[in-house]
Amino acid sequence: MKNVGTMLLALAFLGASAWLDAANATVPVSGGQVLISRDRIVNDDLMVSGNSVQVEARVNGDVAAAGGDVAVSGNVRDDVLAAGRNVNITGSVGDHLRVAGANVTVNAPVAKSVTLAGGKVILTSNASVGRNASLIGRQIQVQGSVGHDLTISGDEARIASDVGGSVVAHTDHLTLLPGAIVHGNVVTYGPTAPVISPQAHVMGRVDYHKENRGQPGGLVVGWLKGWGFQFLSLLVLGAALLGLARPWADQVVETMSRQVGLSALMGVLGLVLIPMVSVLLFVTAIGLPVGLLLMAIYGGALLLANVFVAYLLGGWVLQRSGHPQAKSFTRLALGALILSCCTALPWVGWIVLSIALVVGLGAFLIREWDIFARLRTGMLA
């Protein structure tokens, strides 16, 4: 959460007008102990953050929640995006569910797909997934039904549910408990073969591919851990950005899409020149506050650069796939998923990360220079 605080501080320098515009587009709530009580109905997207977050109200839109302890017990019409130390979902989700945390528990039906990442991940018997489920964790328990395919990556996984498609698992230990039904195949990668109870039923084939930790399987797990960190960071920062300054973020992304080459050039120049100018300002008493402000904005821009690229990438993919009117949080989540997967790749990930950082920073600088130029023109006039 320290990164979120730094980012919000940097956003304050962008002006109160952007925040006020964003407040009309969503319902942002933050604080130490945050409760959205059950006697409310939120007819908009809801973004909430705090040390402890409880969403009991019905939400007719998306929910983005981040905090130490996050509980969503109200029914949500659209997507739910949540991150925290302990995350508990007990209200129904009408669209997609994406959660990351140390302990993640889902105890409610989800109409479409589910992506869960954490130390301990539980899909209880009261939960159900309409489409695909992707679960990443050290300990994974699947008791609720999955409509289509189930993908698992972790140390230990136990399945006692009805899976409408196939199961693909990268685990050290996979167990199909009594009553488990898999309508497709079971494909596992790991050091030990899956343990399948005689009371479990696999309608397709069972394929086991032996992989020790030092072999490709270990590389896959390491990649997944790097992916999870990048994905969570982009989601938390992006959710805060869209909740506080969505119109401004849209403008930066539009600048990036129209001026990719110039954005890259400005990004390279900014990476080199801004720290140099700040150091020169630090040596004078008059220039010190300006230098500190410049470095604060620079730090915020570096934090947000990859978020801008993820937001643009998700929007571009959805537009090409025939969904140009997709919600902002959906665009962010998809772009974060793609970018984090690419940046976590061995050997080439740092190249992708560097390009995204440079282009995102450059678009930010171009946009802020345009704002400064208009303000200066207005003052001179």
Q: What phi, psi does 199 have (nearest 5°)?
A: -90, 0
Q: Max alpha carbon distance in the chain (Å)? A: 83
Q: Which helix (H) or strand (E) is 163 found in, with range? A: strand 162-163
Its pTM stands at: 0.58
Cβ-contact 203, 182 below 8 angstroms: yes
> What is the domain partition of the chain in residue ranges?
25-220, 223-380
Distance from chain centroid for Cα 23: 21
Query: For residues 16 and 35, is the Cβ–Cβ distance under 8 A?
Result: no
Q: How far apart (Å, rounded) are the C-alpha atoms in residues 28 and 46?
A: 6
Enumerate residues 6+ apart whose C-beta is below 8 A from 363. 252, 253, 255, 256, 259, 263, 266, 267, 308
What distance in Å separates the CA atoms of residue 270 and residue 275, rounded to the nearest whole number? 8
Q: What is the CA radius of gyration of the chain?
A: 23
Half-sphere exposure of 245 toward its Cβ, with a 13 Å CA cutoff? Answer: 24
Structure tokens at 112: 């479409």
Provide the CB-side half-sphere exposure for 248 (13 A, CA).
29
Q: Which residues pair with 187 in a beta bridge?
A: 168, 207
DSSP state at residue 90: -
Tens-binned pLDDT, residue by residue, of the chain (381 aa): 333 333 333 333 333 333 333 333 455 555 568 899 999 999 988 878 777 889 999 999 998 887 778 999 999 999 998 877 889 999 999 999 988 778 899 999 999 999 888 789 999 999 999 999 999 888 999 999 999 999 998 889 999 999 999 999 999 899 999 999 999 999 999 999 999 999 999 999 999 998 875 544 444 445 555 566 677 778 888 888 888 888 888 999 999 988 888 888 888 888 888 888 877 877 777 777 877 877 887 888 888 898 999 999 888 887 877 777 777 877 888 888 888 877 766 667 778 888 888 999 989 888 888 776 776 666 555
* Residues contacting 80, CB < 8 A, separation 6+: 62, 63, 65, 72, 89, 93, 95, 96, 97, 98, 99
Q: Which two tokens stand for residue 340?
A: 């984090």
